[in-house]
Amino acid sequence: MTDVVIHRGLDGVESITGAVVVIDVFRASNTIISLLAAGAREVLLLADLDRARALKSEDSRRPLLGERGGIAPVDFDGGNSPSAAPSLISPGDSPILTTSAGTQAVARLRAAETVLFASFANASAVAARIRGLESPVVTMLPMGLEARTPAVEDDEAALWIAGLVEGRSQDFGPVRARLLDCEGARRLRRLGQHDDLAVCVELDSRDLVPLVLAGDPPRAVAMGADTGRIRYNPSSLTGRDPGRGEG
């Protein structure tokens, strides 16, 4: 049986081995899920704003999406928005995404064998994938606000997915109530991101699991039959500091 452990924040993530599930409910996980569901071929994951801009300059057709402090930089094509971002891409696109938390983790997971993105939206699909992995230990990585402060929504998602993996009976009603009343939800409302909040508190709305493939930059693809045995091998990043960005 797979053991599930929870590691909060970025401290020490460089040494985490095995399978890692990155959880950034508000909102990177859901934005990545939404982009792939809308037909993106891949989502390029950047930690640093300037590198994201440079990648856009190499190919202006790539939508440049992301946020700092919850707001899209003025020169970006869009924000870190699971409700809006899909309308900014066409099927087959490779959008660029840089965020304050979720994409920061990818840049530092140097020893992991498999890296997935999860939220409530794909919780059951992720749990099913975890049960099929050849990893004795799976680490849940709830990112928290800007990867610095624990966040109710990320902790709740980590516990929910762990419960699914372990076969526990769970009631989403009380969990959803806590999500809607937490500081992260209040922050989204203050920023006027009501549509994003609605997307982020949906349970099992997507049967899609983003799998991170190592590279420069790393990228998320929809996990399928042809990717199920691919390992995250960040050897191409060895010797290079991918940067932490501003988040």
The pLDDT tens digits for 132-185 are 987 889 999 999 998 889 999 999 999 999 999 999 999 999 999 999 999 999
Task: Mark residue 39 as left, alpha or beta (left: phi above 0; alpha: psi -120 to 50; beta: remaining).
Answer: left
CA distances to 9, 99, 151 from 148, rounded to whole Å, are 6, 13, 9
pLDDT band per the 50, 70, 90 thresholds, residue 243 = very low
Q: In whole angstroms, what is the distance from residue 60 CA to residue 204 CA? A: 34
Closest CA to 106 of 95, 117, 121: 117
pLDDT confidence band for 227 (50 / 70 / 90): low
Sign of the four-CA dihedral 201, 39, 128, 97: negative
pLDDT at residue 23 greater than cutoff 90: yes
Provide the whole-model pTM: 0.91
Cα–Cα distance between 242 and 239 in angstroms, integer? 10
Asked whether residue 220 carries a pLDDT value surpassing 90, the answer given is: yes
The pLDDT score that the predictor gives to residue 242 is 35
pLDDT at 240 over 60: no
For residue 5, give every residue at least 6 positions away whose Cβ sits within 8 Å of its Cβ, in sequence order, or none. Answer: 137, 138, 139, 140
3-state secondary structure 153-199: HHHHHHHHHHHHHHCCCCCHHHHHHHHHCCHHHHHHHHCCCHHHHHH
Q: Of 95, 86, 146, whose CA–CA distance to 121 is shortest?
A: 86
Those residues with Cβ within 8 angstroms of residue 204's Cβ, 6 or more apart along the chain or in another chain:
120, 121, 122, 123, 124, 125
Q: Do 119 and 157 meet the contact criterion of CB atoms below 8 Å apart? A: yes
pLDDT cut 70: percent of the chain above it: 91
